[in-house]
Amino acid sequence: MRALPWTGLVAAPLLSLLALGCQASIEDAPPGAGTGGSGAGGAQNLAGSATLPPGANALSLLPARIRRLTDSEYQNTVNAVVGDAANGVSADFVPDSRQGGFTVNEAQRVDPVLARQLADAANKLAADVRTKAAPCAAPSTPAQCADAFIRDFGKKAYRRPLGDDEVQQLTTVFNVGLDGGTYAEGIELATRAMLQSAAFLYHTEIGDAPAATVKLTPYELASSISYLIMGGPPTDTLVNKALAGELDTTEGRAALVAAGLFQDGAGYSSSLPSARVRRVIQEWLGTDRISATAKDSNIYQNFETLRPQMEAETGSFLGKLVQDQKGGSVATLLSADWTVAQPQLLAAYKATAMDSTGFASTPQRLGLLNQAAFLSVFAHAHETAPVLRGVAVMRRVACSPVPDPVDLSTAIVPPPPDPKKTTRDRFSAHATTACAACHNRIDNFGFAFEGFDGMGMARTLDNEQAVNSSVNVVGTDFDGGYADSNELVKAMAKSPQVHECFARNMFRALAGTSNEAARMSEDGFVEYWKSGMATVTESSIAGTLSSYVTSPTFNFRKAQ
């Protein structure tokens, strides 16, 4: 797909240009694309490759790239740039495409439908900006007022100073609105252009100039950290730290982490964890899909009522985990004997809140995998789904390879309904077919969760037959027999394989790539992550995220 010119969008027909998408490597971008059309703010040697820190391997660098902001990142960005008028403006945008389950990735495009939605949003937001923009103090020289507005608003929107060529282009747009109109109409038109430009819609990681190895500009570095942690644009505090060179080194970024990456002193909200961190965990485990999950109302009559509370539970649980458990132990994430939920869901769990926040003891329902959101997402509309649950746990939590039936040229034939058999009895037929080699492993993971029905409620009977949740897991570093999913997740919480799998998934989420071509980068991160712990099973959510930010190659990229 043809890459878009970086600075040519603002004065061009937006729908036709944006529909082309943007798939660019460092070779596609003109000099200065990372910091403005004139290359303002660059600190890199333009004559050759950037110098890597000692011990860093250029082969393990992520590629230089330009990626589109996700719908969530777009919303957070317009909130920061425009203010309250932007609330909910992206609510009806087409859903983000995903790689490996994660929305932050290189595959995002602007198709014609999204282009129209972006145009409508820009029109709405620009109209609000127009009403709030200060009138020109010197009506006889509106160009000077427009220049000041474009440079100030543009710096917020583009997350960097504008180059002179960009200012000139936007001034041309302003003049179109001014011709036969008013100063305010010119400002509105220029704002619409900025909010639909590539510089606003895309996050760059390309440095100042083409080279084999590039160093992110200070503005790119500040944005990379901010979008990674908070899912939105950087604050002035963070940008100033980057401009001062404080974030160029591992030590500098470690100092930022030590000072409290989420704290007000670093320019962030003090709320833990951020919506971005919750989103990463929920996308990793698939629980973010609970809002789009449906059930047969004849079988699960109260699912629609409880579904919002199921969604809220995972967020509240993660919030308490990270706030109260020293950064969110991965072991506790998987095996916590407590949760935070609203009254109706706790009643369905047969648990009682122990304080006003909804904190409750749940010794028979350990960790996030035994919460209703995960169990509902990985189930059918009318019954449980041992295969879905088993594959989800194997691939997402244990990084245990599971072949796709399509790749094996195998037809999928679901077990026929039988009201006299349990789900497990029906699915046990897999063990006598050509599918046995895979399903003997998959189904044992899934059968462990048969103590919970298709919407995650505890049960002892299935079709009036006793439920059997005992399993024998093979092919992992926690092989063995387990009575049920609670026993299984306790073993997984102590598994080095599972903790390393968590680190790998966090790399894919934070780096925004699940591409096999990034495997060397992923392996390099995992080794760095391991070096920071006495034992792998001490890993935490915050610690893993911090390892990514402080890794020596964080602010370097290689040409594609």
Q: In which band, very low, low, confident or very high, does the pLDDT at 111 lie, cut at 50, 70 and 90?
A: very high
The two tokens of residue 160 are 């960097």
- Tell me whether residue 354 is exposed, middle or buried, using C-beta atoms within 10 angstroms of its C-beta: 0 to 12, 13 to 18, 19 or more: exposed
Q: Residue 258 pLDDT > 90, yes or no? A: no
Q: How far apart are CA 130 and CA 223, in angstroms?
A: 27
pLDDT value of position 260: 61
SS3 62: coil
Least-confidence region, from 199-213, 267-281, 541-555? 267-281
The reported pTM is 0.88
What mean pLDDT comes out for the span 327-341? 95
Express each pLDDT in 443-477 by its tens digit: 899 999 999 999 999 999 999 999 999 999 999 99
pLDDT value of position 24: 35
pLDDT value of position 287: 97
Q: How far apart are CA 307 and CA 311, in angstroms?
A: 6
Least-confidence region, from 287-291, 435-439, 551-555? 435-439
pLDDT value of position 161: 97
Q: How far apart are CA 367 and CA 358, in angstroms?
A: 16
Task: Compare 81 and 272 and report the one with higher pLDDT.
Answer: 81
Q: What is the DSSP string of 77-96?
A: HHHHHH-GGGTTTTTTSPPP
Query: Is 121:129 a contact under the CB 8 Å cutoff?
Result: no
SS3 373: helix
Q: How far apart are CA 436 and CA 429, in angstroms?
A: 9
pLDDT value of position 515: 84
As beta bridge partners, residue 329 has 540
SS3 271: coil
Question: Which stretch, 313-327, 354-368, 401-415, 423-437, has highest mean pLDDT?
Answer: 354-368
pLDDT value of position 414: 72
pLDDT value of position 20: 31
Q: How far apart are CA 158 and CA 195, in angstroms?
A: 9
Express each pLDDT in 347-392 by its tens digit: 999 999 998 989 999 999 999 999 999 999 999 999 999 999 999 9
Q: What is the DSSP string of 157-220?
A: HHTSPPPHHHHHHHHHHHHHHHTTS-HHHHHHHHHHHHHTSHHHHEEEE--SS--SEEE--HHH
Q: Taking the chain, what is the end-to-end CA distance rounded to the nearest angstrom?
A: 15
Q: In which band, very low, low, confident or very high, does the pLDDT at 146 lie, cut at 50, 70 and 90?
A: very high
CA-based torsion, 547, 548, 553, 555: positive or negative: negative
Cβ-based neighbour number of residue 24 at 10 Å:
24
Q: How far apart are CA 520 and CA 500, in angstroms?
A: 15
The two tokens of residue 217 are 């500009």
- The CA angle 101-294-291, to the nearest 5 degrees, is 50
Report which residue type is found at 196: Q
pLDDT value of position 430: 59
Q: How far apart are CA 233 and CA 231, in angstroms?
A: 7
Least-confidence region, from 113-122, 136-145, 244-253, 268-277? 268-277
The two tokens of residue 497 are 């394989």
Q: How far apart are CA 169 and CA 409, in angstroms?
A: 55
Q: Residue 520 pLDDT > 80, yes or no? A: yes
